[in-house]
Amino acid sequence: MKKSEFAVEKFLNGHNCAQSVLYSFCEDLNLDEDTAMKIASGFGGGMGRKGEVCGAVSGGIMTIGMKYGSGKNPDSSKTGITYRKTRELMDRFAEKHGCYICRKLLEGCELSTDEGQKEFKEKGLKTRVCKQCIISAVEIVEDILT
């Protein structure tokens, strides 16, 4: 199964977009799956359903950080690589989807309200938008990591 398919499966089974993306790279990163899910849990819906940076992109950024980031000892060369690859992910994602801001991707849907949750379901945004964003984020990150 492709990583993007695995991520979509996780998402459709109840995990958020950020969790789904990061989880799909756990094996490559030698990252404990439960830890990954906990780390990414607050990033869904554009960070706690605030509609900010798309959770799929956030999950991708976490993946990049796990692969290239500076650890407990600061390393400006690793930070530089991580930031460059993060910008690449964000730019390529925006190129494909028009932006990387959750509320804009979701046509202004306010996920933090009951009305917004209802609208999200009625418009089929989970499969029409979020699923596509997860696929894109995973595919772009796969390309960046190679």
| Tens of pLDDT, residues 25-80 | 999 999 999 999 999 999 999 999 999 999 999 999 999 999 999 989 988 999 99
Give mean pLDDT, residues 107-133. 96
CA distance 139 to 103: 22
* 11-28 pLDDT per residue, tens: 999 999 999 999 999 999
Look at residue 146 in the predicted model and tell me its pLDDT: 86
Query: Please, are residues 20 and 8 in contact by the beta-carbon 8 Å criterion?
Result: yes
Average pLDDT over residues 109-119: 96
User: Domain map of the chain by residue range?
Assistant: 3-145
